Amino acid sequence: MSQADTRTETDTMGAVEVPADRYWGAQTQRSIGNFPIGDERMPVPLIRALGLIKKAAAETNAALGVLDADIARAIADAATEVADGTLDDHFPLVVWQTGSGTQTNMNANEVIANRAIEMLDGEIGAKSPVHPNDHVNASQSSNDTFPTAMHIATALETHDRLLPALDRMIAALNEKAREFDDIVKIGRTHTQDATPLTLGQEFSGYAAALDLSRTRIDHDLVNVYALAQGGTAVGTGLNAPKGFATGFAARIAEATGLPFKTAPNKFAALASHAALTDFHGSLNALAADLFKIANDIRFLGSGPRSGLGELILPANEPGSSIMPGKVNPTQAEALSMVATQIMGNHTTITMAAAQGHFELNVFKPVIALNVLQSIRLAADAMASFTERCLEGIEPDRARIAELVERSLMLVTALAPHVGYDTAAAIAKAAHANGTTLREEAVGGGHVSGEDFDRIVRHERAQTVTGPAKRVIENVEDYPRPPALERVDDTIRIVFAGQTVAETDEAYRVLETFHAPTYYLPMAAYAEGVLQPGEGSSLCEWKGQASYFDIVTNGQRASRAAWSYLRPTPDFAPIKGFFAVYAEPMDACFVGGERVTPQPGNFYGGWVTSRITGSVKGAPGTTHW
């Protein structure tokens, strides 16, 4: 590189030649030379989180009188370019560096300082009027900045990538559960034939498992919102002015729309990464469920002639370079490979998190790499699997019916009528002789042909119309005035990562064009989560409603719940019961199904797959 291609930058160890077209400085250039290890660059989401951090720090320092307003503004403007990705090419460092992430923090300080100098018409590399340490890194240390970036990047990637992909997959599974709800198939346990269920029930199990994974993720994010910034070098806050930590966290919360807060104990925030280990545990559990679902679907789609063949999977590409016409379950294979990678990442994160010697964990970059990789891979793989496989799955009804007819496990329905031992003997005889259950049961004189048909038909009917069968209701058929009825399902509400209410003793109100509104008894709510809120409203049918806030884990949802303390006579059973708006909650569930809020954020109905028809929305929309 010629002298014209470089400029001279300095640090405490002397002068270093740096590419002239790059904003980084001496410490970044030294790191490039000192750590030629692999090609795993520091994750882009973490770099962009550093941009948010430096902007918030500059603004907080200006407010506290630490920085001149013009310098702070230039730093904030340059940091914004880092946060929005404009300067991604100026962050060349690999993950394999100092375990505190110091080189990457200085990379950010140098890039932002030089860009700010350029904005102020100064000379890049002069460290004036903006200095990377004195100004960009003011009130900070790498030891509190890097873990803060880890938490911010994790939370943002989870909300921006992971949860939308997970929600789409859950919705697709629920849709398939509805679509397949009338298809009776043979169940399997231990990979052997078992009693029947519907294909819809099988898919509803997949959806419910992922719903639980989402709840775990929401819950485990709560501790990720706690930020180390303000602890500086060892957690004491040396060189950070009073009010810096809280002011900084408030600015990050405002910039991201997420409930970030300052960590209550900065010593733990620097030395321990249990919050990320715990959070990644929820990703590990998600990976286990994804692996199981992917494997089930590819085995159910095996064949097309020599396998189970119950599902017809979309054909996306040729499957073999030697066998013409072969099509493989590639999306399921990709998803299961991603799941194994996430499981391996969890082992790495666990080991790295255990290295918090004394006041500082020095395995931070490898933790960040693995957490962010798991989020990205899970999000991408779920999105791809949902779009290119799940949404296009079709049942092979003829094959499913054939396997039901051939199964010996329908004999379970005979057991209450002929006894367990006799039923077992019938099944064994049918298997040994290559006959049907009906032939052995009737031929052996155990039941009449008429009774056999009635019993087995009843077993199949129970599969379709039993408790797991969901009755679809049209909201246009709901009454007005509204009706009140008890609910058989379990109702659960999650807020701020905590289950704040759960009950099997709820009521629901049904009204024309409205999604059902669910009322839970006071005893269903965790102690202290319901606190009196502001205002009231009048319902012509139920009476005057009083509003309540929901408060837990340091978060408050204002006027999120309401109750009729003195209801009209027709609604007397819900006196002292409380309904909740779904929109401000993390999640609300009816019978294990995650609900969506009634459109418009005006009414408090909960929309599930069990209702159809046109639902009333905000004032001025349809049905007003």
| Residue 360 contacts residue 322 (beta carbons within 8 Å) | no
Specify the DSSP element, H or E, that contains 302. Answer: none
Q: What is the mean pLDDT of the chain?
A: 92
Q: Rounded distance, CA 542 to CA 567, Å? A: 5
Q: Rounded distance, CA 82 to CA 107, Å? A: 11
CA distances from 498 to 38, 156, 550 (A): 41, 20, 11
Task: Determine whether 128 is an active site residue.
Answer: no
Token couple for 321 = 């370079």
Task: Quote the distance between the C-alpha of residue 565 and its chain's center.
Answer: 36
Report pLDDT digits (tens) over 174-225: 999 989 988 999 999 999 998 889 999 999 999 999 999 998 999 999 999 9
Q: 470: number of CA atoms within 13 Å, CB side?
A: 23
DSSP state letters, 232-276: TTTSS-TT--TTHHHHHHHHHHHHHSS--EE-S-HHHHHH--HHH
The domains of the chain, with CATH numbers, are: 3-138 (1.10.275.10), 146-231+264-397 (1.20.200.10), 408-465 (1.10.40.30), 475-612 (2.170.150.40)
Sign of CA dihedral 368, 371, 377, 383: negative
DSSP state letters, 305-339: SSS---EE----S---SSSTT----HHHHHHHHHH
Q: Rounded distance, CA 306 to CA 298, Å? A: 14
Q: 347: number of CA atoms within 13 Å, CB side?
A: 5
Q: Which residue has the tokens 């938490």?
A: 151
pLDDT at position 406 is 82
Q: How are the residues of the chain apportioned to helix, strand and coil, as percentages rounded to the nearest 5? A: 50, 15, 35
Residue ranges for the chain with pLDDT beneath 50 = 1, 458, 466-468, 624
Catalytic option among 128, 159, 190, 204: 190
Q: Rounded distance, CA 91 to CA 78, Å? A: 14
> Buried (b) or exposed (e) across 527-539, using 16+ Cβ within 10 A?
eebbeebeeeeee
Cis bond before residue 318 (omega within 30° of 0) = no
Sign of CA dihedral 392, 396, 397, 401: negative
Name which of 306, 330, 310 is nearest 320 in CA terms: 330
Specify the DSSP element, H or E, that contains 578. Answer: strand 577-580
pLDDT at position 412 is 85
Q: Rounded distance, CA 418 to CA 112, Å? A: 81
Task: Determine whether 159 is an active site residue.
Answer: no
Catalytic option among 128, 320, 448, 614: 320
Q: Rounded distance, CA 108 to CA 47, Å? A: 8
Q: Rounded distance, CA 337 to CA 377, Å? A: 10
pLDDT at position 464 is 56
Task: Quote the distance between the C-alpha of residue 555 and its chain's center.
Answer: 19
Is the pTM for the entire model greater than 0.95? no
pLDDT at position 463 is 59
Q: Rounded distance, CA 172 to CA 165, Å? A: 11
pLDDT at position 317 is 72
pLDDT at position 5 is 93
